[in-house]
Structure formats: structure tokens, C-alpha cells
Amino acid sequence: MSRRYRLLRRLLFTLDPERAHHMAMRALASGMVPAMPGDADPLLARDLLGLRFPNPIGMAAGFSKDGEAVDGLFSLGFGFVEVGTVTPLPQPGNPKPRLFRLPEDRALINRFGFNSRGHDALLERLASRSGKTGILGINVGANKDSADRIEDYVLGVRRFAASAAYLTINISSPNTPGLRDLQEKAFLGDLLARVGAARDAAPTRRPLLLKIAPDLDDAALETIVGTAIDAKMDGMIVSNTTIARERLKNPNAAEAGGLSGWPLMRRSNIMIAKVRRLAGNRLVLVGAGGVHSPETAFVKIAAGADLVQLYTGFIYEGPGLPAQILTGLVRLVERQGFANVADVVGSDVDRWVKARP
């Protein structure tokens, strides 16, 4: 963390977390945050999902829900950016306060509940990016009061197929009642069949990723991975926030919602390794949860992730974090004797499969 951001963070952390977040978004969207593109070393590039990722470090969904700061984020060195979760119709989400800091734990708890300006607003914003570069993923969800939540996901795939480099089906947020039920076998097969058909029928066929929760037992995880492969999903994001509360120090740990940040690191790494073992190379895996340094990114890749996403680490470490990770990741790859970052993937999967959360 730079000295400048350390001072700025002290100020931002005196504000309500959601207000501070909106201020940061406006700064990124307006170009007030200077570009920090980081290391473009070719050993970090990955060819996945039919796309050329300049590096494996991405911004996770949830930070720029409505696509406000996409280009500001790309200017910081992210290899890809995912926006959303976006719902078909606008909805305010859950009542405030709904975002809580846990500084001693390097964590956040949120219960936003898919607050979204809706499909139309995001499509209009993305139209203004016409001709601009960068791998943009769009994370789609369902409205809270929808009569057919699966149809909401189908509509998201149809409407954003022309705008996204890839699409993510988010069925793992703990903040929309009943949403995680879609991970169960009785619903998942129908969901993936319908979104897959929508993907295949679109004029431009986009890769489809499934975002799962970190709180699944081994039997449920095996069912989900098998169903995703059978439905010809292209990848999985492992994982969303957790409802677990273990060894936390800050009093905000008692707040309801999804926990993200450093306390999720070990749990998500174990799940990544288990999914890698189950799926082999049939799915592209995006690892998320606890990344805040070159070392944590490297460990997550070694556990089995092809690509890595962060969010909470960005809040605590600041806008220089992507560039810092890229520079450090090159050094780690070379120091460990790997030819490139692709060779790191899954190199430590055996240890993580056997580990306990």
C-alpha cells in the first residue's frame, strides 16, 4: 500500500462504507485516479475461453455493479473486469446499512441484495464504451420478486451476449432469499439447460461461467461440477462470499450477509482445488476470495485457478494493488522455476484438496 493511499484510506474509513465506495467509483469513472498499468510481461498472459487475457488478475463483480468505472479499472492494470450483478428490472436491494468493514480481519460483510439499475441502464452505459478495449464480463442475476428467476437469467444472457466477452450466472449470493436453492440438483439442471440454450441461440456465442458459494459440502460440489460439465458450461467462479463466521475479531462479524476478504482465502482455495480435481481441464476456473498481494494470487493459482479475481483486497490496499500483484507475480513465477503463469495452475492442488477450512 502506498503512503498516499494509507492516508486517504484513513479518511475514507471515517465515512459510511457505502458512501466511501460511491466516492471511489466516481473518482475512477472521472479519471481522477491516475493510470497504473503494471507489468505487461508476456509470461502472465493466458489464452482461455477463446480470449487473450493480458494477465490473470481481474476485478470481481460487485465493485462496479452498473458498469460506472470499467475504464478506470482497466487503467489500473486489471486483465479483465466483471460488472454486475445486474437484474432485468431496477431494484433498490436491501435496506441500509448493508456494507460493513472488519479492518482487524481484512474483511467486509455485505448484504446488498442485488441492488441494480437494471438491464436497460447497463446496456446504455456499455453502448458509450463502443470501440474501447478490455475483457469485460457481465454477471447476471434475478430480481427478488421475479415469478420465474430462471427466465431472468435467460433474459440476461440474451440481452448481454453482444456486449460481454463472457457471462457469469450468479446463483450464490446469500443476500437474496432462496437464490442459493438454484445450486441444488432439482433446479440447477433446468437453469443451466435454459441459459445454455439462450447462449447457443445468440448471434454471438459467449462463454458462460457459473459462480458458486464456498459453503457447499463435497456431495453438493460434486453434483454442481458434474451438472456444469454436462451442460457445457465454460467455467466456474470459485467462490462468492461466505455465510461462515470463524475466528473473526471485529464486532461487525455479527452482521448478517456475505463475508469477503482474507478470512475467505483458505476456504475458497480448498474449493478451487476440489473443483479442479473434479473437473480436470474441462472447466476454466476463476479463483476469488482473499487475494490482496502477489503471494496470495500465486497461492490461489497454484491451488487450481486459471484466473484470479479480487475486490475486498482492493478496498484495503488501494488502486496500486493490481500493478503490485503483476510485478510480484512475475518474480514469483520466475523464482519458483516456472516458465509462465499457466504452468503454475494446479501445481499445489494435492495439498489444498486435503486441507481443512
127: alpha, beta or left, given left = phi > 0 and alpha = psi -120 to 50? alpha
Out of 64, 75, 173, 239, the active site residue is 173
Strands (E), the chain: 46-48, 51-53, 57-59, 80-86, 99-102, 107-110, 135-140, 166-170, 208-212, 235-238, 258-261, 284-288, 307-310
CB atoms within 10 A of CB 348: 18
**Closest among 224, 156, 221, 154 to 193, alpha carbons compared:** 154
Q: Across-strand partners of 139?
A: 84, 168
Interacting residues of 20 by C-beta distance below 8 A, sequence separation 6+: 12, 13
**CA distance linking residue 307 with residue 286, whole number of Å:** 5
**Coil, strand or helix at 274:** helix
The DSSP symbol for 180 reads G
Residue 108 near residue 312 (C-beta atoms within 8 A): yes
User: For the chain, how long is the longest CA-to-CA vector?
Assistant: 54
State the Cα angle at 95 between 90 and 96, rounded to 5°: 115
Residue 347 designated active-site: no
Residue 74, CA distances (Å) to 66, 122, 124, 192, 258 in order: 15, 18, 19, 30, 26
Asked if 323 contacts 37 with a C-beta cutoff of 8 angstroms, the reply is yes
Verify cis geometry, omega within 30 degrees of 0, for the bond prior to 239: yes
Please, what sign has the CA dihedral across residues 139, 140, 141, 143?
positive
Residues designated catalytic: 173
